[in-house]
Structure 1
């Protein structure tokens, strides 16, 4: 159910060095950043490398490797985080197929869930 809300509508933009969009945590509670094991971004069928993904919340930006040891910051339920993908030249204006997959580690689950959202999004000219 919450997978449909992961990618925030009308948030896609080009930024210096790539593109960014807003994303929500696909979990009914907030999680410490060290419990977010992976964030995968795919645009128009091209998977962005893990080392080229950045995560920003409340004015702080992290690489995914840095997030593994962040115990004093959280991604709260409903909070919009900025997810940046480094991609030379950014994206061309128009429609794009954006995929976001988030893998969380939840202490009481015997497995590590990955939740995925796919949306057609537009980048304004």
Structure 2
């Protein structure tokens, strides 16, 4: 439903210790952070380890393990979160194929959805 809007085009950049891009939640209602079970990032065929993924919303940064117990913060519909990956040296200049997948828990669904988006992004200047 919202999978093709997950990765914000033009947002890929190098940051201290790695790279980052903006991402949107692929669910129409927003969710508490504890309901985000996993975020997976793959760049140019290389999957980033779970422990190297960081999630930032409204100025607060979390590891994925920390998000499991965050009950007082949410990722709202349409809100852009900063999705970061620890990768020494970041990414090289030019285009990169980025895949962003989110697995989340919704109480009334009998399954755990995983939604993903893949885009070719150029490293922003």
4+ residue segments displaced more than 3 Å: none
Partner of 1:99: 99
- TM-score, normalization: structure 1? 0.98
Equivalent residues, number: 125
Structure 2: runs of 5+ lacking an equivalent? none
- TM-score, normalization: structure 2? 0.98
1:63-102 equivalences in 2 (<5 Å): 63-102=63-102
State the alpha-carbon separation in 2 of the partners of residues 62 and 7 from structure 1: 19
1:1-125 equivalences in 2 (<5 Å): 1-125=1-125
Q: Secondary structure at the match of 2:111?
A: coil
Structure 1: runs of 5+ lacking an equivalent? none
State the alpha-carbon separation in 1 of the partners of residues 61 and 89 from structure 2: 21
Q: Report deviation, 1:25.
A: 0.1
